[in-house]
Amino acid sequence: MSNILQAFINIVNNYQINITKVTNENNRANNMGEGLETYIKEAFSNTLLESDKKKKKQKFRNYFSYEGSKTRIPDLILKNGDAIEIKKTEALGDLQLNSSHPKAILYSSQNISDECRNCEAKAWIKKDILYTMGHIPKKSKNLKSLWFVYGTCYAANEDIYQDVVNEIKDTLKTTNTLQIDIDCKELGKVKNIDSLKITYLRIRGMWVIKHPSKVFDDLYKQTDEVFSLIAIIPLEKYNTFPKEDRDNIESNKSITITDEEISNPNNAAKILKIKLLIFEIK
C-alpha cells in the first residue's frame, strides 16, 4: 500500500525529471492538469522511471482503487488508503474548488460517484483526503512547486460549510417574487421565468480557498527556488505510517523535517501538531 511518504521520497529521488515530466505530459495530452495528475499517479505508484505503458497501467491498478472523474472529487484513491485531490495553478492565488466545498475528511455519504463509493472490496465510510497542488507558471510551463496538505490541516468540519449552504437556501425561500426550488443538489433553481414557463436559472455555488503557500507562509515562504516540494501532515497521521517509510524520509539529508504547530481550521485559538517536510532545489 502506497502513502504520502513513499510518493514524497520518489519525487525527491527523481527530482531531475520532475521539472520536464509535467510539461511533456502536457504536450502530449494538450492539458497541463492531466499531465500533473499523471505525474502524481506515477509518484505514488513508483513509476516515474517506467517507460512501458502496459506495465505502468498495471501498476496504477495495483496501487489505486479509484481513478476519478473530471467532475467530482476525488481524483484518486489509494487502495485501502487516502483519497487524493489534485489541483493545478498557474499562479499562487486562490484555488477554485467549484461546487465542492473544502473537505477535511472524505465521506462515502457525500456527493461522490457510485464508482468511487464502491471502489474497494470492503465498504468504506470515510477516508483522509490529501490535497495536492502543483504550481505551473503560465510562462515557463514547468512544475515550480508541489504542495501536499491533508484536509484536516486545511479545511473545517463538514457542518461549517453545510450551515452556510442551508442559510443561503433558507434565504432564497423568503422571496415573494420568484419561484425557487431548493430541493436539489445545487443552491436552488429559479423556475418558470418566462411566460411559456420553459426557462429556469440554476443557482450554483463556487467555492474558493487560499493556496497553501498563503495559508502557511509562516512555515514556508516560496521564493525563487527552481523547484520546491512541501508536505503538511498531522503528527498523529504521520505516526501511523510504516516505520520503514518514516526512516527513509528521516534519513534523507536533502529533506528538512520539523515538528510544527498550525491553527486548527475549526478553532483558530487551538493548535494542531504537524510534521513539515520540505525539499527544494535552488
100 neighbors 115 (Cβ within 8 angstroms): no
Does residue 226 sit within a domain?
Answer: yes
Residues 6+ apart with CB under 8 A from 202: 186, 189
Does residue 182 sit within a domain?
Answer: no
Does residue 163 sit within a domain?
Answer: no
The domain in which residue 63 lies consists of 4-157+207-281
Does residue 162 sit within a domain?
Answer: no
pLDDT tens for 188-239 read: 999 999 999 999 999 988 999 999 999 999 999 988 778 999 999 999 999 9
pLDDT reading at 89 higher than 60: yes
| Secondary structure letter of residue 208 according to DSSP | E
Does residue 176 sit within a domain?
Answer: no
For the whole model, what pTM was predicted? 0.91
- 32-63 burial, b at 16+ Cβ within 10 Å, e below that, comes to bbbbbbbbbbbbbbbbbeeeeeeebeebbeeb
Mean pLDDT taken over the chain: 90
pLDDT tens for 104-152 read: 999 999 989 999 999 999 999 999 999 999 998 887 768 889 999 999 9
Does residue 14 sit within a domain?
Answer: yes
**Which residues are registered as beta bridge partners of 180?**
190
Burial grade of 110 (CB within 10 A; 0-12, 13-18, 19 or more):
middle
pLDDT reading at 98 higher than 90: no
State mean pLDDT over 184-189: 88
116 neighbors 225 (Cβ within 8 angstroms): no
Does residue 30 sit within a domain?
Answer: yes
**Which residues are registered as beta bridge partners of 98?**
207
Percent of the chain scoring above 90 in pLDDT: 71
Distance CA 30, CA 7 (A): 25
Phi, psi of 25 (to 5 degrees): -60, -40
Distance CA 155, CA 101 (A): 9
pLDDT reading at 16 higher than 70: no
Q: Which three cell numbers stand for residue 219?
A: 512555515
Q: In this predicted structure, what is the pLDDT of residue 132?
A: 96
278 neighbors 255 (Cβ within 8 angstroms): yes
Backbone CA torsion sign across 211, 221, 152, 279 = positive
pLDDT reading at 12 higher than 80: yes
The C-alpha angle with vertex 214 and arms to 212 and 216, in degrees rounded to 5, equals: 65
SS3 content of the chain, % helix, strand, coil (to 5): 30, 30, 40
State mean pLDDT over 42-63: 94
Start-to-end C-alpha separation, the chain:
32
| Secondary structure letter of residue 240 according to DSSP | T
Edge-to-edge strand list for the sheet holding 179-181: 179-181, 188-191, 201-203
As for how many domains the chain has, the answer is 1
Does residue 77 sit within a domain?
Answer: yes
Band of pLDDT at residue 26, cut at 50, 70 and 90: very low
